[in-house]
Structure 1
Amino acid sequence: MSSNQRIITDNNKSPLIQVLSLMFLVIAILSCFVRTGAKLYMIKALRVDDILIIVATVLAACQTVIVFNACEHGLGQHFEVLSSSDQETFFKSQYATNTMLIASLLCCKLSGTMSLRIMAQKGQKWIIIICEAVVSAWGITALIANFFQCQPPTPWLYGDNDKCINLKAFWTYYSTANIITDIIIVIIMAENVVKIQTSWSKKILVMSVFGSRIFVTPAIVAQIHYSNKAFDSADHSFSIWPASITIQLVQCLTILTVCLPNFKPFLDSLESGQIRVDDLRRQGKTIQEWAEQQISSSRSCIENTAQ
């Protein structure tokens, strides 16, 4: 079987899934590495949001390893040609893959909401807390539903619809909620950036970087489409190959967009030289704390002007 998997054919998409999954994983790992390296270089410390994105990347790596194993046991090939052992392994791999995916996306989104706290006005802190609670409920309930998607002792065996929840409805809900929470996070971020006292060019730049997570939406829509088609098919292992690729893409883009604002953290502040970075280190301030101070100062200026 392994020799056949080296060639992409109309009846074998396993190599395609493996190649794209590896490419997406490399992008995710590099994104996390750059973010973590930038934080350690600038402030020599990691915050909770940084730890969460590292955990999300580790989970994504584990998920990709499971996908590779699934490809070795029939993912991307027609279900009818698989041995009973490979069919069993395929279902178990899908079960584990979905668990890792949900956990990874949950960590990513919580990391994003925690980073958003530095930009929120005092009156909006409760909105961020509610948003974090909703995100946590979204992720935890999804994990529970995934764990018990089918009747024990084989909850991974989703081939029998009479013994399983409506997976089509579940994943549509899960992915739609993913889109909605992303949009809410972007709206809160944009509202706060607009109120910062700086040039519109800088406002647009900041909103573009922090709002890049909205570009995950098309990939999620594609995931919903292909997943629903796969659930309607009896050819479980083959019909799901487009959904598998879009899932890997969603995971990659989610990690990338959360890390993106830290690729070149506050690079504009370095235009005056290395002094500002040295000052930050001597003062023991993180880049995020410095940003919060700048935003707070801008708001104070606006309030004083209004008075």
Structure 2
Amino acid sequence: MSTQLDQVILSESNRTPIVQVIVWFCLVTSFLAFITHAGIKLYVFRALRAESGFLLVSLVFCIAQSIAALLQCGYGFGKPSVTLSSNDVQLTLKAEYAATILLFISLGFSKLAIVAFVHNLTPSKLHRKINYGVGALACLWLLCAVLVAVFECRVPRTWDRSLDRCLDRFTWWNAISIFNIVTEVAIIALELGITAQLRVTRQRKASIMSLFACRFLVLIATAIQLAYFHQEKNNPATNNDLTLGFWRSILCNQIVQCLAIVTTCLPYTKIFMEGFESGLIRIDDGRRRGDYASKGYSGREYQLMDVSRSSQARRSAPDKSINVSKSWAVSVEPAGRTQSS
């Protein structure tokens, strides 16, 4: 007795399987990255700071966005709209509407996580003022992106792009993507500018800066997504298909979201914390601990300390060595007495 299994075939008219695989892969990768980040911070510092809270919020919205994307695939996204019922098309557009809003919120909180991290990274007032400006820019981007996505079409059918009552998606998506790239450039420039002033060996400095430079992957993925969006918009065959036409650019959105979370967690990987055995903390925390400070080339101070668990145990362990001292008594007698004897 044979059992017939339903086979899903990937073809030009069915891109749903590849979208589902990428969504699951990005979701699992983002979750594991956050677990690694939180585990290392608890292992080393015994506490979670503000950046971990922002990153957790970003992950929560990432999970919600991934669920919306999977629902979108379940309703028929990745297949030609002519092969779907009108109800399935509407459900796909609703899921896409929710996924877009959740995507922007997840990306926004990943930016704020880096802003919070940089705040704890440097004691410089100038750098903190610049960081506040970058944070304000990220908040402005988040607010604008969410508002435009929410009111893309007229109420009450704000999700229905099949009606001719929506904003020019090509224009507002370009503006949001370019604004996103600008905020990412500002974040990367600030991180690299701070680490470039550390007085450490060139090899160590290059290693630390390379971790922060991995944020460029978000820029590259955003640029690729924008390129696919332009390509699909300029092609009449894909521009008019609401469920299959823009599958590449929507797929890139999942990758951008995943990279935003992963690159935020990279400075806390075990290789960074135990391989380099160095960290950057606030100068006032270091003074309370009695650690030493290293001055940058511009005179600004940055705190360097060994953050590996073993070294902290060595520093905190009491000195149980035994000190042995000896003493000798010296007596002086008069010279005449010595001669008479």
CA RMSD of aligned residues (A): 2.6
Q: Deviations over 1:27-61 (max 9, x none)?
A: 11110110011111112211111011111112111
Q: Deviations over 1:225-279 (max 9, x none)?
A: 22334445111100111112111110111111000111125324649xxxxxxxx
Indicate the structure (1 or 2) with the bigger Cα radius of gyration. 2
Is 1:297 the counterpart of 2:293? The answer is yes
Question: 1:153 aligns to what?
Answer: 156
- What TM-score, normalized by structure 2, do the two folds share? 0.78
Is 1:267 the counterpart of 2:282? The answer is no
SS in 1 for 2:41: helix
Q: 1:5 Cα shift? A: 7.9
Question: 1:143 aligns to what?
Answer: 146
Contact 2:75/2:91 (<8 A) preserved:
yes
Q: 1:89 Cα shift? A: 0.3
Question: 1:132 aligns to what?
Answer: 135
SS in 2 for 1:163: coil
Q: 1:125 Cα shift? A: 1.2
Is 1:42 the counterpart of 2:44? The answer is yes
Contact 2:197/2:297 (<8 A) preserved:
no
Question: 2:112 aligns to what?
Answer: 110
State the distance in 1 between where 2:206 and 2:256 align: 25
Contact 1:79/1:87 (<8 A) preserved:
yes
Q: 1:119 Cα shift? A: 3.3
Q: Greater relative contact order (Cα 8 A, min sep 6): structure 1 or 2?
A: 1
SS in 2 for 1:303: coil
Q: Could you tell me which of 245, 252, 257 is aligned with 2:251?
A: 245
- What TM-score, normalized by structure 1, do the two folds share? 0.86
Higher alpha-carbon deviation: 235-244 or 5-14 = 5-14
State the distance in 1 between where 2:132 and 2:166 align: 34
Q: 1:182 Cα shift? A: 1.2
The one-letter amino acid of 2:198's match is I
Contact 1:103/1:143 (<8 A) preserved:
yes
Q: 1:218 Cα shift? A: 1.7
The one-letter amino acid of 1:266's match is M
SS in 1 for 2:244: helix
Q: 1:13 Cα shift? A: 0.5
State the distance in 2 between where 1:292 and 1:206 align: 21
State the distance in 1 between where 2:195 and 2:203 align: 12
Which structure's residues are more often helix, by fraction? 1
Question: Which blocks of at least 5 consecutive residues in structure 1 are unaligned?
Answer: 272-285
State the distance in 2 between where 1:240 and 1:68 align: 16
SS in 1 for 2:157: coil
The one-letter amino acid of 1:157's match is D
Q: 1:118 Cα shift? A: 2.9
Question: Which blocks of at least 5 consecutive residues in structure 2 are unaligned?
Answer: 301-341
Is 1:19 the counterpart of 2:15? The answer is no
Q: Go from structure 1 to structure 2 and tell me whether the alpha carbon gap of 1:223 and 1:302 turns closer, same or farther (over 3 Å shift).
A: closer
State the distance in 2 between where 1:4 and 1:253 align: 34
Q: Go from structure 1 to structure 2 and tell me whether the alpha carbon gap of 1:66 and 1:302 turns closer, same or farther (over 3 Å shift).
A: closer
SS in 2 for 1:6: coil
Q: Deviations over 1:130-149 (max 9, x none)?
A: 11011001001111111111
